[in-house]
Chains A and B, each alone.
Chain A
Amino acid sequence: MKVLAALSLLSLMALLALGVSGVFPRPAVPPAEDVAAEWGAKNVVATIVLGVRLWDTLFEILVYAMTMVGVKLGLRLLRWEHAIPPVRETPLLRRSADLLLGPIVVFALYVAVSGHLGPGGGFPAGAILGTALLLLALAKGVERLSAEIHEPSLEWAEYGAIVAILAVAGGLLLVGRRGSGYLIAANVLIALEVGIGAWVVLHRFASSRGEV
């Protein structure tokens, strides 16, 4: 078993090394600035993710949403032996979480909205949003937070975000007009989708073990 593993490992590493050794020709990088200028953007990566390779991104978002549904269903089927009593809350943690939540959400929004001009975009913004909600859950307790922010309607907002992304992308494909407005809208919607998905999964994991 170990010999087989070592052999396959060595062949994998040799294959990777062969890929960069110069045996295969590497194409010259095409001038990407023109593409970015055509979309009214500065970040070429954002233009590629949301423009040239739009189908790739759309199906990736669908895979993400499907996986999150799988996690929710799987954790719902489990039955736990007994709940752990909740952690006692401290005023300092609670206060600092309340203070920090606003700036973090604004920062996530900034990362999403300015994603076509500089580093950023929908995916990191969504991750930051999910982490912010988890930080709040650490301070307040998972169940109280999910009651406060209306979890079921949040889940519907996630599905709504997917539908909106599909609608915006479909409209773009039909109309064929390219511009930075579309990039901003798509980035914000992707941030919503990724952020809410991450929060829902973290919440399910946390509540199934008792508390954070």
Chain B
Amino acid sequence: MEGLAGVALAIVLAGLGFWHLIVRRNLIWKLLGLNVAASGAILFLVALAHRPGARPPIVGLGPGPSVDPLPHALVLTAIVIDFATLALALVYVIFLTEHRHTQDVDRLERDEERGWPQP
């Protein structure tokens, strides 16, 4: 039950985040959408590892079969990498804001078409 609810939630979260990643025009809003989509992907893997009535993958912690520990090991590193790439992306956004004075994607594209700013 918990596993299925988790999978459903993960799919909805991934869709929600992905939608905002594509439709929003402000770069920081896009990054927030990416954040939610990534958390959906992580939840998807963790929910897949769950079995009904299973215990945590720690020896001697309750009865019953253990959940699959491999997805947990995968997403543990993915969470840390998410943070690192987010920091790098924010540095690029700060760069754009300092040099082009805008965070709007449409505006940036229009400036590129008009050939502004001149080097």
Give residues in A with beta carbon < 8 Å to B.
1-2, 5-6, 8-9, 12-13, 16-17, 19-20, 29, 32-33, 36-37, 42-45, 48-49, 53, 56-57, 60, 63-64, 67-68, 70-71, 74-75, 77-78, 80, 118-119, 121, 123, 127, 194, 197-198, 201, 205, 208
Contacts and interface: CB of A to CB of B under 8 A. Distances in A.
Contacts of B59: 33, 36-37, 42-44
B30 interface: no
A74 B91 contact: yes
Given A2-B23, A17-B11, A43-B58, A67 B76 contact: no
Contact of A64 (B4, B69, B70, B80): B80
B12 to A, nearest CB: 8
B87 interface: yes
Interface in B2-51: 4, 7, 10-11, 14-15, 18-19, 22-23, 44, 48, 51
Given A9-B15, A20-B48, A60-B81, A42 B60 contact: yes
A60 B76 CA distance: 10
Contacts of A208: 94
Contacts, number: 115
Contact of A29 (B60, B66, B84): B66
Interface residues of B, number: 43
Contacts of B1: none
Interface in B59-83: 59-60, 65-70, 72-74, 76-77, 79-81, 83
Nearest to B12: A13
A49 B91 contact: no
A25 B90 CA distance: 40
A44 B74 CA distance: 13
A119 B58 contact: yes
A118 B4 CA distance: 26
Given A12-B15, A68-B84, A123 B79 contact: yes
